[in-house]
Structure 1
Amino acid sequence: MSEQIKFKGVFYRKQAGGEDKGWALFLSRDDSTGKSYAVFTTKFFPKLRVPYEIVLQKNKRDSFNLISFVEVLPDLYGNLERFLSSSIPSIGKVTAQKIVEKYGEDFLEKISDDPNMEIPELSEKQREELNSFLPQHDKQDIDFFTSNDLFYFYETLKSKIKPSKGSYIKEYKFKNPYSLFFENNMNIFDVDKFAILLGNVNEKSFNRFEAFIYFSIKELEIDNNTVYRITDIFTELSKHLEIDYNTFTDLFIEAINKKVIKKITYKNHDYFSLYSTFIKEEFIYGFLLEINSGSDEKVSNYKSSKLDEFQEKAFINAVTKNVSIISGGPGTGKTFLIKELVDYFVSKGAKYGDQIKILTPTGRVSSNITKKSGYAASTIHSYLSISKDDEEIPAFIAENMIEKWNALETLIIDEFSMVNINIFYKLLTNCQYIKKIIIIGDAHQLPAIGPGNLLNDLIETNKFATYFLHNNHRSESTEIFNHYSALNKDETPPFKKDVIDIIDEDDLSNDFISTYKKEVKEKGLENVIVLSPVYSGKYGLIELNKKLQEVLNNSSETIITKKERGIIVNYKINDRVIQTVNRNNEGIYNGDFGYIKSFGKKENDKGEFVNQISVEFNNIDNSKKVISYTENEFKQEIVLAYAVSIHKFQGSEVDTLFYIVNKAHQTMNRKKLVYTGISRAKKHLFIVGSVNYYLQLIHNFKFEISDVKTHIKIETQKNKGI
């Protein structure tokens, strides 16, 4: 490790970058020697010309990395009286002179060391203004965090919490520091280091165990399971925490007793779940059963000659039952059925948007339904005014939205396979006066990212009326419909030239590239997509996007460069990109496609001119919407989108689709993933890879066993005596 240097000084110039870019290069100066240093930082950004105690470390370039910067009192060189009278508006020369005479030239040091020091010469207003000039930190805290390489943790801590005792060390010495992980979403490993250094935990500390067991099971929940064998939990925990099995079992029993963990016994086997996840599953299942127990309604005075026999049964089921499930693949008329249902409820006096609402898991699905049905659908996240599943709804928003949520009586949720337990629980707990829920989706598609397999689990309970749609209503894609339907039945799927083609090559060049270019030229880039199940490797999305960018947009100007999983990726004007997080206030959502349109300087709220990147998106009415990003926002929220993941494109459809199938993705190539991917194609499907491997893969699907285990599934199996 390079030697660190420490000095008192200032940052006097920003040479390059800035907070909007996520990095900056500053010039700093040592007050005692006058020596200047070029300082690189990526996390926190100091103010110019403010006195700091600065710690730097030499990097491999001709500059230094910023390790810490702590605001200190300025050197006044015996001019305290002048400083007080000129820097603090409410303190005049007479008051300043009295203070210096009574308390001395080290007055600022005294009041910094003792913030509660009584100063009768100052009014309340003068004291407030003086305090604003003093460094806002505890000296013991500063020494502790900087000496233990926790400076950035300290800065994050300051941005989230103000200690009631004036010091974070004093605050958490006798308080559970792991509350910072649970309540403030702070990095568990930084929190753990902080707790250990405070000396109030050891390897048998329950508070520490509780935090890491929660973190470990949350990591496991990403793959949909909500219940686990104890050995699986111990294996995952051991990746993050050094603990022997005997200590683990002792603390695990304590976690069960304290309702951190829920024990579930089935067929003489013990399974375990996070108690909080168990409560969510219990609530969801109980809520739906309670609604469903109400009296059935009757269909009256509504006819439609446009519904096929399966749609008509599903329609009657949805109208008469309080909880109903409709499952069907792409092209089976789910969106048309949604429109018919809303038309019916509106004709009976329900007001759309108040008493009845269509919600979806993604913005792209919402846009699709809105265009086709004429009814404005919303994402579940935007309806709840949140951007992430685990985000708490602010109290002031909840107060303003409660009337809207309480008015909702009939809820239609589309693409329900993409809805996980966390977001559905949050929706139901905030909309407690719902009388009817119509769940629509495709049970053969991939489950949501996160805990639960709700669509399949609810169907398998046999507690809720369920109808399946079977007929294809896309006249242009009968062959594609038959292809993925055969795959679902574990049959050899049919091919047809110029509709379902195989590009039988493993190097993703030659035929693939020339065919891709031809399709884009004939149909337009917005009507062509490439899907791959992985990000890294030769056939992964990062390399695919680089290759396809070179084919379509090689000559455009590079405006941003960033590393993605260790690979340098350039972003250029006119590149096709995709939004990866929700921007509810701007109507842009995770999964929305756009095009980079411009790059240039723009004045921000602070009056600074910073780089801005403009990305153009399509509105529902096909008008254009331009969103501006700082460099830092762009790097965090935008990725290239000539090729995208199956999860990212789930719920969407496209005229021409290239599906990458390769042995290198063997562990990913499961039935639901392949089905979800290929069924996005409307007019032309290209399977890119070995035809023999593809057919062998489909043959092996019949031997797959669904291995997603949840509390609802176990309860269903118990009830059925399975």
Structure 2
Amino acid sequence: MIATYEKTIYKDESCGFCICAYRTGDETVPATARKAGSRDGHIHFTATGYLLPETGAVEVDLNGHWEKGRYGPQLAVDSYREILPATEAGILGYLSSGLIKGIGPKTARQLVDAFGLDTLQVLDKTPERLLGIKGIAAKKLERIVSTYQDAKALREIVSFLAPFGVSVRKCMQIREAYGGQAIQILKTSPYALCRIHGFGFKTVDEIARRMHVRPDDPQRIQGALLYTLEEAGHAGHLYLPREDLIRQAARLLKEGAASVDISDSHIAAQVYELAMQRALCVCGEAVYRRRLYEAETRTAELVAALARQPVRAYPNFDAVLAQSQKEQGLMLSTRQCEAVRCCLQQPFSILTGGPGTGKTTVLKVILDVYQKLEGGTILQAAPTGRAARRMMQSTGHPAGTLHSVLGLVAKGEGGAYHTKGLAPLAADFVVVDETSMMDIFLAEELFRRIRPGAKILLVGDADQLPSVGPGNVFRDLIRSGVLPVTQLDTVFRQSGASRIALNAQLIRQNRATLLEGPDFEFLPCSDETAASAMIQRLYQDEIARVGIEQVQVLSPFASRGAVSVKSLNPVLRNLVNPARFCVQEWQIGDTLFREGDRIVQTRNQGEISNGDTSVVRSIRKNEEGEITALLDFGDGRTVEYDERDMAHIQLAYALTIHKSQGGEYAVVILPMLPSFYKLLSRNLVYTAITRAKKRVILVGQKKALYMAIHKDGSDQRNSMLANRLSALFSCKDDAANQPEFHEMTTEQKEVS
């Protein structure tokens, strides 16, 4: 029926479900569904559905069926279409309604004056003509077209998937993944949704079942296989053993169709069918998604080529090293001097060690000696903005994020990257810090861009958590046994020793009896509720002592429990940045942002990296009614974000331990409870406490700490990168070019 929107009675922002009041002249509306008391000559009724049109600027054609509601029959809308206005006044009202970002009443009047009845057709077919309108530049046009097309595509997707209970947020993910082809893909290949992060196989299976896809249909089996590998990738694996893949896929298939027997041989046949389609690669018993296989093999080849370059000899090395130490007022240990020598002589080298072992000091000397010996161009980079800033401060040389120096733009969740530039990096010496955070995609792109003849040094701590993305690159490079690796494992103690560094060493050695004192405390709490209350008190106390930028709460959990990041963030924010008169706020989904808030990026976006933190400096609304936030990243970058950009922002008063990598804080507060047992591991705790420079406060139960220290989660990722590197160096004709493996014995030393 043709109807006009009047008001929204109820709306669930998380899924898009709403109850709206409409009016119509259609006499087919049941008498019991008509709202009494109206004298305007229209029939008034209530409709329910997902993402229903909420503007009276256009009429809508609603299709659905009548259902019993609390106050009488309601129209349950299955689908709808907007009836675009056919008069200039109608078009003006539609464009002035605020539905299209970038077009407010003023711009709407300009468009209608210019294009008249053709205005909507121009928007749809030839939007570039809008550039002739005063005040519409290329950037504004892009926003207008994007909003117009996105809204149109999103309505189609939501309308199609509404009966299956798919939320608006997930519909937006589908639109981002498949663009204008989304509806066609949904209708012909529903299991393609399994390739989108956040779509469980059960949800997709239910959609396909209602579309009458047979339980033994090859596309269903392929969907289960691809979903299983996709989930393995999100867990950090590059591949799954064939038997594991088939077993996990069979379990998924059985859950959705218990009465149908799908044999392992049928599933195996679809593995090889997907391999023939070039979606998968089968390498012996290992099954990869093709992109991961290509990234792993290409990374191994690139590293081997870089490492086979000639070793450099410096006859005056010792004299220059002595001069550098004297100028900087340093006295390196024998091992640290050998580290400098190895990293400068070898074309490809690795420097690793925990806190307090002198990595930063050694790196400063390496760069100084390199400048004195060769005077080449140095490029420093790190995976996050925080790590890059810290690198620049500690060495005195410029540094940037890997994404910015490589010109990378993320393709999406857990995926590869688009590159804005393909030219080799203009550097003679490339130094990368916090390399443990580098996933296989980032590693491949980095090594691809290093020009022949350039030297590369990877710096990091192999005992930290591996990358969020797939792979365990840093550990694999070390484990390969064919690359020059310098391990700094001596903790140098001065008076007023840091228990943080010493305890980090103990944790690495699987020793749970840690040293306690003013800089390393454990405060007992019986449960999560008590821990949350104590964390709130500690947070306020520590901020009063050292300042808000120097205090960070870390949690193993993102969203579950009273001490998860999701639970702690709004509570901590209200303690230090409460609502106040004239302080602007912006509600986006289920998150309230406020001027002055500390926030974190959750996805790579342009030159902003996943994990970069910033402060909301201002929230403003322009004359067109659009809201934007000005974010200050603390390194000279201030960026304006609109609502779409803010979808990838979270509060940062509490961070997950993964998100904290690359950062340093004076004080770290860390809940440690047995309820975390599934996530607890040695490298998780090690990573958390090594973020602190001056003080660590653990809150919870010591048995949880012991559980974590005795659980090694560092090697539980399927990867063949180390094996591939070893194989590439095992050829006899290449033996003469193999670099030495620079291994050093373990020693613990105290200097008082």
Question: Alpha carbons of 1:371 and 1:43: their partners in 2 closer, same or farther (altered >3 Å)?
Answer: farther
Deviation of residue 548 (structure 1)? 2.9
Cα distance change of structure 1 residues 44 and 217 upon mapping to structure 2, 3 Å threshold: farther
> Quick one: structure 1 residues 67 and 572, their matched pair in 2 at CA, closer, same or farther if it must change by over 3 Å?
farther
Kindly, what percent of the aligned residue pairs are identical?
Answer: 21
The runs of 5 or more residues in structure 2 that have no matched partner are: 27-40, 88-111, 126-144, 150-154, 731-752
SS across alignment from 1:330: coil
Partner of 1:528: 551
Q: Which runs of 5+ in 1 are unaligned?
A: 1-6, 77-86, 97-110, 116-131, 137-141
Task: Give the structure 2 partner of residue 383 of structure 1.
Answer: 405
The answer on whether the counterparts of 2:64 and 2:77 sit within 8 Å (CA) in structure 1 is yes
In 2, Cα distance between equivalents of 1:43 and 1:36? 20
SS at match of 1:659: strand
1:370 alignment counterpart: 392
1:561 Cα offset (Å)? 5.1
Whichever residue aligns with residue 245 of structure 1, its letter is S
Displacement after TM superposition at 1:210 (Å)? 3.9
Matching residue of 1:309: 334
Alpha-carbon distance in structure 1 between the residues aligned to 2:639 and 2:156: 43
Alignment partner, residue 234 of structure 2: 222
Instruction: Give runs of aligned pairs for residues 112-131 of structure 1, distance below 5 A.
Output: none
* 8 Å Cα contact 2:677-2:704 kept in structure 1: no
**Residue in structure 2 matched with residue 517 of structure 1 by the alignment:** 540
Taking structure 1 as reference, are residues 677 and 36 closer, same or farther at Cα in structure 2, changes over 3 Å only? same
* Residue 506 (structure 2) aligned to one of 472, 482, 486: 486
Structure 1 pair 616/495, CA: closer, same or farther in 2 (3 Å)?
same
For 2:294, the aligned partner's letter is I
The residue that corresponds to 1:446 in the other structure is 465
**Residue in 2 that maps onto 1:647:** 658
Deviations 1:212-252 (A, max 9, x none): 42332021122222232334323543576547233212322
Asked if 2 retains the 8 angstrom alpha-carbon contact of 1:556 and 1:572, the reply is no
**How far apart are 1:648 and its partner, in Å?**
0.8
Q: Aligned partners of 2:217 and 2:230: how far apart in 1?
A: 20
Name the CA distance, whole Å, in 2 between partners of 1:720 and 1:655.
44
- Residue 280 of structure 1 aligns with which residue? 295
For residue 624 of structure 2, the aligned residue among 608, 619, 625 is 608
Selected match of 1:293 from 308, 323, 326: 308
User: CA 1:474 to 1:412, structure 2 compared with 1: closer, same or farther past 3 Å?
Assistant: farther
Could you tell me which residue of structure 2 aligns to residue 411 of structure 1? Answer: 430
| 2:348–2:483 contact (8 Å) kept in structure 1 | yes
1: CA distance between counterparts of 2:10 and 2:629? Answer: 17
Q: One-letter code of the match for 1:213?
A: L
* Paired residue secondary structure (1:687): strand
Equivalent position of 1:101 in the other structure: none
Question: Does the alignment pair 1:49 with 2:73?
Answer: no
- The code of the aligned residue for 2:576 comes to L
**Which residue number corresponds to residue 539 of structure 1?**
563
* C-alpha spacing 1:710/1:55, structure 2 compared with 1 (3 Å): same
1:482 deviates by 0.8
- Deviation, structure 1 residue 424: 1.6
Per-residue CA shift, 1:260-317, capped at 9, x if unaligned?
Answer: 444445xxxx343334322221111121112212211123543221344333222221
Q: CA deviation at 1:440?
A: 1.2
Q: Deviations over 1:596-643 (max 9, x none)?
A: 4444x521xxx51234444444226xxxx5544445643x23323222
Q: Secondary structure at the match of 1:537?
A: coil
Residues 1:671 and 2:671 aligned together: no
CA change 1:358–1:37 in 2 (3 A) is farther
The reply to whether residue 503 of structure 1 matches residue 518 of structure 2 is no
Which aligned pairs between 1:78-477 and structure 2 lie closer than 5 A?
A: 149=162, 202-203=214-215, 205-206=217-218, 209-238=221-250, 241=253, 242=256, 244-246=262-264, 247-256=266-275, 259-265=278-284, 270-299=285-314, 301=316, 302-303=320-321, 304-305=324-325, 306=330, 307-347=332-372, 352=377, 356-388=378-410, 390=412, 398=420, 401-403=421-423, 405=424, 407-431=426-450, 433=452, 435-472=454-491
What is the alpha-carbon distance in structure 2 between the residues aligned to residue 492 and residue 145 of structure 1?
52
Distance apart, 1:490 and its partner CA:
2.1
Determine whether 1:707 maps to 2:719. no
Match in the other structure for 2:2: 8
> Which moved further from structure 2: 425-434 or 520-529?
425-434
Q: Distance in 2 between matches of 1:360 and 1:158?
A: 28
Cα distance change of structure 1 residues 213 and 317 upon mapping to structure 2, 3 Å threshold: same
Q: Matched residue of 1:584: which SS?
A: coil
Partner of 1:100: none
Q: What is the CA–CA distance in structure 2 between the aligned matches of 1:439 and 1:361, rounded to whole Å?
A: 12
Which residue of 1 is the match for residue 603 of structure 2? 581
Distance 2:238 2:176 in 1: 35
CA contact (8 A) 1:331 1:472 kept: yes
C-alpha separation between the residues in 2 aligned to 1:272 and 1:162?
31
1:593 deviates by 3.1
CA distance in 1 between counterparts of 2:659 and 2:16 reads 26
Distance 2:19 2:396 in 1: 51
- Provide the C-alpha distance between the structure 1 equivalents of 2:657 and 2:174, rounded to a whole number of angstroms: 35
CA distance in structure 2 between the partners assigned to 1:716 and 1:214 by the alignment:
27
Q: Note if contact 1:177-1:191 (Cα within 8 Å) is conserved in structure 2.
A: yes
Alpha-carbon displacement from aligned partner over 1:642-673 (angstroms, at most 9, x marks no partner): 22111011121111111211111112111111
- What RMSD in Å do the two structures reach over aligned CA positions? 5.0
Q: For residue 35 of structure 2, what is the aligned residue in structure 1?
A: none
The structural deviation recorded for 1:143 is: 11
Task: Give the 3-state SS of the residue equivalent to 2:457 in structure 1.
Answer: strand
Work out the number of aligned pairs and report it.
628
Structure 2: distance between partners of 1:639 and 1:694: 28
CA distance in 1, matches of 2:175, 2:352: 47
Letter in 2 for 1:8: I
Q: Do 2:174 and 2:193's aligned partners in 1 also have CA atoms closer than 8 Å?
A: no
Does 1:559 pair with 2:585?
A: yes
- 3-state SS, counterpart of residue 675 of structure 1: helix
The structural deviation recorded for 1:360 is 1.4
Structure 1's 560 and 231: CA in aligned 2 closer, same or farther, altered over 3 A?
farther
**3-state DSSP class of the match of 1:228?**
strand
Judge conservation of contact 2:340–2:362 (CA < 8 Å) in 1: yes
The answer (yes or no) to whether the contact 2:403–2:609 under 8 Å persists in 1 is no
Q: Is the 8 A contact 2:80 2:159 kept in 1?
A: no
> How high is the TM-score relative to the length of structure 2?
0.69
Structure 1 pair 22/154, CA: closer, same or farther in 2 (3 Å)?
A: closer
CA drift of 1:472 comes to 4.2
| Matched-pair contact (CA < 8 Å) for 1:310–1:470 | no
Counterpart of 1:70 in structure 2 is 81
Deviation at 1:445, TM superposition (A): 0.6
Q: How far apart are residue 392 of structure 1 and its match?
A: 6.3
